[in-house]
Amino acid sequence: QSVLTQPPSVSAAPGQKVTISCSGSSSNIGNNYVSWYQQLPGTAPKLLIYDNNKRPSGIPDRFSGSKSGTSATLGITGLQTGDEADYYCGTWDSSLSVFYVFGTGTKVTVL
Amino acid sequence: QVQLQESGPGLVKPSETLSLTCAVSGYSISSGYYWGWIRQPPGKGLEWIGSIYHSGSTYYNPSLKSRVTISVDTSKNQFSLKLSSVTAADTAVYYCARHPLGIAAGGGYGAFDIWGQGTMVTVSS
């Protein structure tokens, strides 16, 4: 069972904006950097955001990340049909040992 | 460019050991980064299994630690996963991926930046 909680699904019309929340605790999000991954149907996950708000080369600025306390948020503006995918947050947890945790995942639907 | 490719049996019997290898091309494992395994059961979310550095230093998911061994072969530029005493619950797509790991002002960092395509492993008799 994941320690990072995301909404199961969000949806919006093309061109609109969606935000996905990721809620954790002080042992993970609260004291470590957050990443976000996009998983298109039938493909491997792809890194979208790292270090809370940085985009790897090639990721459009329609995707943004932020962190506040023990929660993080992924924003997608100018929604496109190609953005329909599952999105996962992830971070390191340093409670009793060091391990990586993924969020529960959010399905984005473009209406 | 850096590429990762998983390989191994697609079918494993219950109670046996699952063994997978991830071949890395376009980058030397010995140059840095950690190398990890992540799995995804059908229709479910991602689960980190563990990671290894070229020196052999490892981190494992506490929930799987008793059954997992990750090793590295720098001469072949590959790393491997062994998961023992498998059950149907271990049926999943298994991915290998690369990530840095360190501490900065904002805490620990280390995103999985390059992934393999994944390989499906089914546990069944």
Task: Output the six-digit token pair for B65.
Answer: 């630690």
Give contacts of A35 with chain B, Cβ < 8 Å. 111-112
A32/B106 Cβ within 8 A: yes
Q: For A99-107, what is the mean pLDDT?
A: 96
Best to test chain A binding among B38, B112, B119, B120 (most A CBs inside 10 Å): B112
Residue A1 confidence class, pLDDT cut points 50, 70, 90: low
What does the pLDDT read at residue B71? 97
DSSP 8-state assignment for residue A5: B
The H or E element spanning position A34 is: strand A34-39
When the pLDDT of each residue in chain A is averaged and rounded to a whole number, the result is 95
Q: What is the pLDDT along chain B (125 residues), one digit of tens a residue?
A: 999 999 999 999 999 999 999 999 999 999 989 999 999 999 999 999 999 999 999 999 999 999 999 999 999 999 999 999 999 999 999 999 999 888 777 777 889 999 999 999 999 99
Task: Measure the CA–CA gap between B55 and B46, rounded to whole angstroms.
Answer: 26
Span A14-67, pLDDT tens digits: 999 999 999 999 999 999 999 999 999 999 999 999 999 999 999 999 999 999
- % residues pLDDT > 90 (chain A): 92
Measured between CB atoms, which of A46, A88, A97 is closest to B46?
A88
- DSSP 8-state assignment for residue A53: T
Which of B45, B108, B115 is nearest residue A105 as measured by Cβ atoms? B45
Q: Is residue A87 over pLDDT 80?
A: yes
Which candidate, B10, B11, B13, B19, places its Cα nearest to that of B125? B13
Measured between CA atoms, how close is A50 to chain B, in angstroms? 6
Smallest CA–CA distance, residue A66 to chain B, in Å, is 13
Backbone angles phi, psi at A51, to 5 degrees: 50, 45
Count contacts between A and B (CB, < 8 Å).
81
Structure tokens at B122: 């089914």
* CB contact (8 A) between residue B108 and residue A98: yes
**What is the pairing mode between strands A85-93 and A18-23?**
unpaired
